[in-house]
Amino acid sequence: MVERQLRARGITDERVLASMLLVPRHEFVPEELRDQAYEDHPLAIGENQTISQPYMVAVMTQELQLKPSDVVLEIGTGSGYQAAVLSRLASAVYTIERHQSLAFIAHTTLREVGYRNVIVICSDGSGGLPDKAPFDGIIVTAGAPEIPHALLDQLGEGGRLVIPVGEKMLQVCKRITKHGGRFETQDVTGCVFVPLIGKFGWEI
Ligand code: SAH
């Protein structure tokens, strides 16, 4: 997976590649789909949601440019796989999931596999987690109709927000960096994520 799907397609950050080599992706996939865990596509995890394609996880993680001391917020825990990849690159990861069943499974898997610096929270994360702000990185792994302003407010100086923005079935992944109170936006790649549903996302 790492050599053929990630390095061969231009993922160059060695820390990201090393993290994805070490996280056991099959542990985050429902048992009946485990034989496909390292294939080049998303997989169903229940509640009509998916664990993202490995390449998409790598691209977004690379864009976050994490340092070991960073504190990160993920919105859209899903299986917990992305949170596990982040946990090897940052000091603490807060991750929010709106489906209780998914949040519970992700929490259990993360504990069992031993990622103790990840905190799973079950709620609408579209407005971020103001109590724990500021964050060095915020990653949204669901597609938003527009960039929720609350997330920009929760970035620390130099902080990065990586978020898919656009239509329900097709988005552009953007990276927004906060410099001296100003925001610099870059388009990263086209992508297809399940919708971000909530107060600052799509209506159910
Ligand atoms: N990062 C995940 C995949 C994300 S799928 C992984 O590694 O497996 C997107 C997830 O975002 C879904 O589980 C969906 O339920 C969740 N989601 C959608 N809107 C949300 C919101 N407002 N707050 C929290 N989670 C949300």
| Residue 204 predicted with pLDDT over 90 | no
Q: Give how far Cα 162 sits from Cα of 13, 91, 145, 159, 174, Å.
A: 16, 18, 14, 10, 6
Fold of 2-191: Rossmann fold (3.40.50)
The per-residue pLDDT for range 52-110, each reduced to its tens digit, is 999 999 999 999 999 999 999 999 999 999 999 999 999 999 999 999 999 999 999 99
Residue of minimum CA distance from atom 4 in ligand 1: 78
| pTM exceeds 0.85, yes or no | yes
| Residue 187 predicted with pLDDT over 90 | yes
Distance CA 204, CA 200 (A): 12
56 Cβ inside 6 Å of ligand 1: no
| Residue 181 predicted with pLDDT over 90 | no
25 Cβ inside 6 Å of ligand 1: no
Average pLDDT over residues 117-122: 98
All structural domains of the chain with their residue ranges: 2-191
Mutation pick for ligand 1 pocket among 41, 75, 88, 122 (CB with most ligand atoms within 8 Å): 75
Measure 180 CA to ligand 1 centroid, in angstroms. Answer: 30
Q: Which residues are catalytic?
A: 52
Average pLDDT over residues 157-173: 97
Chain-centroid distance, C-alpha 59: 10
| Residue 125 predicted with pLDDT over 90 | yes
